[in-house]
Amino acid sequence: MHDSRLLSSTTLPWIAFLAVALAPLAMSSSWTNMAILTLLFVHLCIAWNLVGGIAGQFCIGHSLFLAAGAYTSTLLSIHLGITPWIGMFAGAALAALIGVFIAWLSFRYELPPLSFALVTIALAMLGYLAISSIDFLGASRGLTLPVRGTPAMYQFRSDTTYYVVILIQVIIALALSMWLYHTKIGLYLRAVRDNERAAHAIGVPVLKYKMLAMAISAALTAFGGTFYAQYLQYVEPHTFAGINIVIQIILLTVVGGTGTVWGPVVGPMLLVPAGEWLRHSLGGSLPGVHLLVFGVLLVVVIRFAPDGLIGAFGRARQAWRFRRGATEVVTR
Amino acid sequence: MLEISGLVSGYGRISILHGIDLRVEKGELVALVGVNGAGKTTLMKTIAGLIRPTAGRIAFEGSEIAGEGAERAVAAGIALVPEGRMVFPRMTVWENLMLGGVHPRARPYREATLERIFDLFPRLAERRDQKAATMSGGEQQMLVIGRGLMAQPKLLILDEPSLGLSPLLVQETYGALRKLNADGLTILLAEQNVKLSLAVSNRGYVIENGKIVLTGASSDLARDPATRKAYLGRL
Amino acid sequence: MSAEVLLQATVQGLQMGAIYALIALSMTLIFSVGGLLNFAHGDFMALAMYGALALYQSFALDAYAAAPLLFFGFFLLGFLMFRRLVQPVLAAGVLAGAQLTLGLVFVQENFLLMVFGGDYLSVPTVLSNKNLVIPPLTMPWPLLVGSLLAVVLAAILYVVLMRTDFGRQVRAITQNSDAAALMGIRIDRVQAIAFGIGIGLLGLTGAIIVAQFTLTPAMGLDFTLIALIVMVIGGLGSFAGSMIAGAIIGVSESLGSLLYGGTVGAMIPYAILVLVLLFRPHGLMGEH
Ligand SMILES: Nc1ncnc2c1ncn2[C@@H]1O[C@H](COP(=O)(O)OP(=O)(O)O)[C@@H](O)[C@H]1O
Ligand SMILES: [Mg+2]
């Protein structure tokens, strides 16, 4: 009994996740690109969820962290020849620093949730506008990475290798997020989310944990940024510093279920492939039609399951158990 | 006028009231007394349509209003003066009162009722344009009673109007209630303050743990040692 | 730089500011309905602008004549949308509501992209490309008329909210919804109407300023952000505050881009927003 519950609560989702995530390896290479995109979003959603879901801070500024990871590693590679394998840590450090600063700001000035969202949006816009106008950063044209073609410089001949890299990143991020969720840190973060004042009153060091969550979330997002930049071998402000990508990250997480461990995994795993499929089957007919259908799909899910698919799944399971329990009573 | 039978109500899946029977006749002033947490507010809110009961009936002038919502209760002629004042803080006294009479049933008589309320509570007339949040507790209590009266109620329900008021203000508030009742208004009053509420009312009910444990003429209840026991039993 | 150029930029900034203030006030109205932060705000206005384009193309209807039509159409859209979509989600919390509107951004932008394509478009009107010249000022008629109408509409909205039973009901729900229910106010209905008016105003606003802008499907987000900024800086629900904040943002944007270039001009509103949120969290004129 105890064993089976353990299996269903942690092991089973992992097995399911790995089975789905590894499937593209067995398929034709045309799937690899989609799989990479999916896993990249899983990674970014897991990162955002640490702050936006588990700690309940509605942050719209994650484009800053994505940009930090993408631009830092790219610039170091272009100008100093430093491999992105090292540059990614510089980018993550920079992102973590920005994240800690934002967390400090919100704590120091006691920003209520919606004000926090607005401050992060404004900072993100400032970052976007700055990047689009600074020539050293390529301005709105962007920067192209020189072709070096060696794994040591984070460049691979086959997409499959990129796929393996992002898969490993996702596994690390997921394990980290799971560990955080179930340890004292996650408990404290959730306490902060549910009632910051009460958490403070019972002795939770609110600022410290907010900073920690933000730093981890920012660093993970930056790793995603480095990966995406190296994969495209190209950075430009709209993709890497625009608000649109943050909106996508948030929506995908919301559809899966914010504040849960598996929500940010489920959301993108279902919807990114669905979006790509829509693009393939509808994209040729009219511009934007696949994104429209995709958007409607998102809205419908939010409408009927505001707590996401994980929440809806939990409710359905509970209702089923309840029904089964009730029949047991009757038969007895 | 108001006839409640077998009422079960609460919050979510938790039942707080376990089968309440209570009636108020036209022209009466009825007191509902009970200690903190006995279920008075839950009962008042259920009558006023803010909480949907899970079982039982609430008949008002013969028609069933249980679970029909607050708008239906106001339309039927029930006004609740809620616990804890609940003024509209960033609006003036006048605006608060106008909102009290915003229901179509009361709207045509607003100006006339306003005059009556200003007669009853001259203090409100003086502070007509003051923001409600900036007034004292006693003034806010007068305001919410006035706001309740603006709805042209046939039955006025008050939930702990004496809570947090100085003895002098309590006297003033109760004087106003007595006057309103003498003018023909039916009143149901929930109170922890047994002595005072039984002194002004005709009949009373004692509620304990969501059940009515005693009922009778207020003067009898006030003398009945069981009332004291019901009270002390929980302390 | 000559004084004339500065004056010109200031006047233009003030005129833009009046339009910003109107957009921010409709956002405030929607925010007052259960605390919904509407990230799709500007997208509704973009939709209205494209609506004006469609009406022009199909019926040769001038945007100014189409304005009342767009108001009623958008009122209906907002009313129904609130009932069927927004209200159930809002019941799950304001954050879920905000997330829903993020989804609507996606839907509307791509709807416009699908129907009208991604090219820059403009809508010819009776006032397009005409200027009013009062030396030393040259003012485009569309902007002048748009800003004057914006001030009038904002004033009407203010009067409706502050001086009518409907407005008092809206404010009562914002301040204490349980007490509002006790007054017999039908909260659902008042909220749906308020939301409808907010969206309807966006329909109207889109029509009266369309001649001043080139249309692209993604233009909405910029307006949303500006409206958020003006709403917050002005102090939630403060009419005078929104007007002043609109003027500050409009003028600083216009002077900023004149003196330091477009990017800095675009950055100034966000910088101001951050500073205001940190140091005057209730805005310039907001009530605590
Ligand atoms: N919103 C609520 N949710 C759950 N339980 C509540 C709520 N409000 C009150 N209660 C519980 O209901 C019981 C009766 O409360 P109440 O009706 O307020 O009593 P009274 O007004 O007599 O003091 C108490 O045990 C209280 O804890
Ligand atoms: Mg009570």
pLDDT digits (tens, 9 = 90+) for C12-67: 999 999 999 999 999 999 998 888 989 999 999 999 999 999 999 999 999 999 99
Per-residue pLDDT of A90-113, as tens digits, reads 999 999 999 999 999 888 887 777
Distance in angstroms (rounded) separating the CA atoms of residues B33 and B91: 32
Q: Which two tokens stand for residue C176?
A: 């204490």
Handedness of CA B44, B47, B53, B57 (dihedral sign): positive
Kindly give the distance from the C-alpha atom of residue B38 to the centroid of ligand 1, in angstroms, as a whole number: 8
Say what angle helices B93-100 and C165-175 make with each other, to 10 degrees.
Answer: 100
Phi-psi region of A243 (alpha: psi -120 to 50; beta: other; left: phi over 0): alpha
Ligand 1 atom at shortest distance from the alpha carbon of B39:
17
Residue B151: half-sphere exposure toward Cβ, Cα within 13 Å: 34
Give the residue among C230, C222, C279 at the shortest CA–CA distance from C251: C230
Pocket of ligand 1 (CB under 6 A): B 11, 14, 16, 34, 36-42
Q: What is the pLDDT of residue C71?
A: 98
Contact partners for chain B, using 3 or more CB pairs closer than 8 A, are C
Strands ordered across the beta sheet of B186-191: B78-81, B155-159, B186-191, B29-33, B203-208, B211-217
Distance in angstroms (rounded) separating the CA atoms of residues A164 and A158: 10
| Burial class of A260 by CB neighbour count within 10 A (0 to 12, 13 to 18, 19+) | buried
**B96, B143 Cβ separation under 8 angstroms:** yes
Distance in angstroms (rounded) separating the CA atoms of residues B150 and B93: 12
Give the closest ligand to the alpha carbon of residue B34.
Answer: 1
Nearest Cβ partner of C114 from A109, A287, A302? A287
Atom 16 of ligand 1, nearest CA residue: B39
Mean pLDDT for the stretch of residues B142-150: 96
Q: Which two tokens stand for residue C41?
A: 């705000």
Residues of chain A contacting C98 with CB distance shorter than 8 Å? 58, 114, 117
Residue of B16, B33, B86 to mutate, ligand 1, most atoms within 8 A of C-beta = B16
DSSP tag of B17: E
Task: With CB atoms and an 8 Å threshold, state whether A288 touches C100.
Answer: no
Task: With CB atoms and an 8 Å threshold, state whether B50 touches C181.
Answer: yes
Please give the residue of chain B at the shortest CA–CA distance from C170. Answer: B99
Phi and psi dihedrals of A148, rounded to 5? -120, -25
Q: In Å, how far is B103's CA from the nearest CA of chain C?
A: 6
Q: Do chains A and C touch (3 or more CB pairs under 8 A)?
A: yes
Q: Which CATH class is domain A30-331?
A: mainly alpha
Per-residue pLDDT of B174-189, as tens digits, reads 999 999 999 999 999 9
Distance in angstroms (rounded) separating the CA atoms of residues C196 and C75: 4
Task: With CB atoms and an 8 Å threshold, state whether C110 touches A289.
Answer: yes
Amino acid present at A217: S
pLDDT of B235 above 70: no
Q: Is C136 on the interface with A (CB under 8 A)?
A: no
In this structure, is residue B210 part of a structural domain?
yes
Element (H, E) at B207: strand B203-208
Q: In Å, how far is C171's CA from the nearest CA of chain B?
A: 9
Q: Which two tokens stand for residue B87?
A: 């003024």
For chain A, domain boundaries: 30-331
Phi-psi region of C70 (alpha: psi -120 to 50; beta: other; left: phi over 0): alpha
Residues of chain C contacting B95 with CB distance shorter than 8 Å? 168
Query: Token match 């799909």: residue?
Result: A297
Contact partners for chain A, using 3 or more CB pairs closer than 8 A, are C
Q: Is C275 on the interface with A (CB under 8 A)?
A: no
Q: What is the pLDDT of residue B122?
A: 94
Task: With CB atoms and an 8 Å threshold, state whether A129 touches C217.
Answer: no
Domain count across chain B: 1
Q: What is the pLDDT of residue B223?
A: 85
Distance in angstroms (rounded) separating the CA atoms of residues A161 and A157: 8
Give the closest ligand to the alpha carbon of residue B82.
Answer: 2
Residues in chain A where the model's pLDDT stays below 70: 1-9, 283, 322-332
Residues of chain A contacting C99 with CB distance shorter than 8 Å? 250-251, 254, 302
Please give the residue of chain C at the shortest CA–CA distance from A244. Answer: C106
Nearest Cβ partner of C106 from A58, A125, A298? A298
What is this structure's pTM? 0.89
Tell me the pLDDT of chain C (288 aa) as tens digits.
688 889 999 999 999 999 999 999 999 999 988 889 899 999 999 999 999 999 999 999 999 999 999 999 999 999 999 999 999 999 888 888 988 999 999 899 999 999 999 899 999 998 988 989 988 888 999 999 999 999 999 999 999 999 999 999 999 999 999 999 999 999 999 999 999 999 999 999 999 999 999 999 999 998 999 999 998 888 876 778 888 999 999 999 999 888 888 888 889 999 998 888 888 877 766 554
Contact partners for chain C, using 3 or more CB pairs closer than 8 A, are A, B
| Burial class of A309 by CB neighbour count within 10 A (0 to 12, 13 to 18, 19+) | buried
Task: With CB atoms and an 8 Å threshold, state whether B74 touches C183.
Answer: yes
For chain C, domain boundaries: 21-219
Q: Is C186 on the interface with B (CB under 8 A)?
A: yes
Give the residue among C243, C245, C237 at the shortest CA–CA distance from C286: C237
**pLDDT tier, B106 (very low <50, low <70, confident <90, very high otherwise):** very high
Please give the residue of chain A at the shortest CA–CA distance from C113. Answer: A288
Q: Is C274 on the interface with A (CB under 8 A)?
A: yes
Residues of chain C contacting B65 with CB distance shorter than 8 Å? none
Mean model confidence pLDDT for chain B: 93
Residue of B11, B20, B40, B42 to mutate, ligand 1, most atoms within 8 A of C-beta = B42
Q: Is B102 on the interface with C (CB under 8 A)?
A: yes
Q: What is the pLDDT of residue A192?
A: 83
**pLDDT tier, B213 (very low <50, low <70, confident <90, very high otherwise):** very high
Ligand 1 atom at shortest distance from the alpha carbon of B34:
22
Q: Is C282 on the interface with B (CB under 8 A)?
A: no
Q: Do chains B and C touch (3 or more CB pairs under 8 A)?
A: yes
Atom 6 of ligand 1, nearest CA residue: B11
Q: Is B48 on the interface with C (CB under 8 A)?
A: yes
Domain that holds residue B87: 26-50+69-232
Which residues are CB-neighbours of B181 under 8 A, at least 6 positions away? B27, B29, B187, B200
CATH code for the domain in which residue B108 is found: 3.40.50.300
Please give the residue of chain B at the shortest CA–CA distance from C188. Answer: B71
Per-residue pLDDT of C70-86, as tens digits, reads 999 999 999 999 999 99
Q: Which two tokens stand for residue B68?
A: 């029909």
Q: What is the pLDDT of residue A324?
A: 64
Q: What is the pLDDT of residue A290?
A: 79
Distance in angstroms (rounded) separating the CA atoms of residues B192 and B36: 7
Q: Which two tokens stand for residue C40?
A: 């799709």
**C283, C271 Cβ separation under 8 angstroms:** no
Q: What distances in angstroms separate CA A224 from CA A48, C56, C177, one per listed residue? A: 11, 46, 44
Which residues are CB-neighbours of A22 under 8 A, at least 6 positions away? A167
Q: How many CB atoms lie within 10 A of CB B37?
A: 14
Give the closest ligand to the alpha carbon of residue B9.
Answer: 1
- The three state secondary structure string of chain A is CHHHHHHHHHHHHHHHHHHHHHHHHHCCCHHHHHHHHHHHHHHHHHHHHHHHHHCCCCCCCHHHHHHHHHHHHHHHHHHHCCCHHHHHHHHHHHHHHHHHHHHHHHHHCCCCHHHHHHHHHHHHHHHHHHHHHCHHHCCCCCEECCCCCCHHHCCCCCHHHHHHHHHHHHHHHHHHHHHHHHCHHHHHHHHHHHCHHHHHHCCCCHHHHHHHHHHHHHHHHHHHHHHHHHHHCEECHHHHHCHHHHHHHHHHHHHHCCCCCCHHHHHHHHHHHHHHHHHHHHCCCCCCHHHHHHHHHHHHHHHHCCCHHHHHHHHHHHHHHHHHHHHHHHHC
**B50, B83 Cβ separation under 8 angstroms:** no
Ligand 1 atom at shortest distance from the alpha carbon of B45:
17
Q: In Å, how far is B230's CA from the nearest CA of chain C?
A: 31
Give one DSSP letter per residue of C116-165, joined into a string. H-SS-B----TTTT-EEEETTEEEEHHHHHHHHHHHHHHHHHHHHHHHSH
Q: What is the pLDDT of residue A62?
A: 97
Angle at C21 between CA C131 and CA C258, to 5 degrees: 55
Angle at A182 between CA A6 and CA A180, to 5 degrees: 135
Please give the residue of chain A at the shortest CA–CA distance from C283. Answer: A115
Atom 1 of ligand 1, nearest CA residue: B11
Atom 7 of ligand 1, nearest CA residue: B11
Q: What is the pLDDT of residue B232?
A: 54
Per-residue pLDDT of A228-287, as tens digits, reads 999 999 999 999 999 989 999 999 999 999 889 999 999 999 988 888 888 888 767 777
Mutate one of B65, B93, B99, B110 to test the C interface: name it (highest C CB count within 10 A): B99
Atom 9 of ligand 1, nearest CA residue: B42
Please give the residue of chain C at the shortest CA–CA distance from B76. Answer: C184
Task: With CB atoms and an 8 Å threshold, state whether C107 touches A295.
Answer: yes
Query: Token match 């009361």: residue?
Result: B106
Task: With CB atoms and an 8 Å threshold, state whether C113 touches A291.
Answer: yes
Give the residue among A247, A244, A242, A246 at the shortest CA–CA distance from A129: A242
Q: Are strands B29-33 and B203-208 parallel, antiparallel or unpaired?
A: parallel
Task: With CB atoms and an 8 Å threshold, state whether B90 touches C179.
Answer: no
Residues of chain B contacting C287 with CB distance shorter than 8 Å? 90
Nearest Cβ partner of A291 from C100, C106, C261? C106
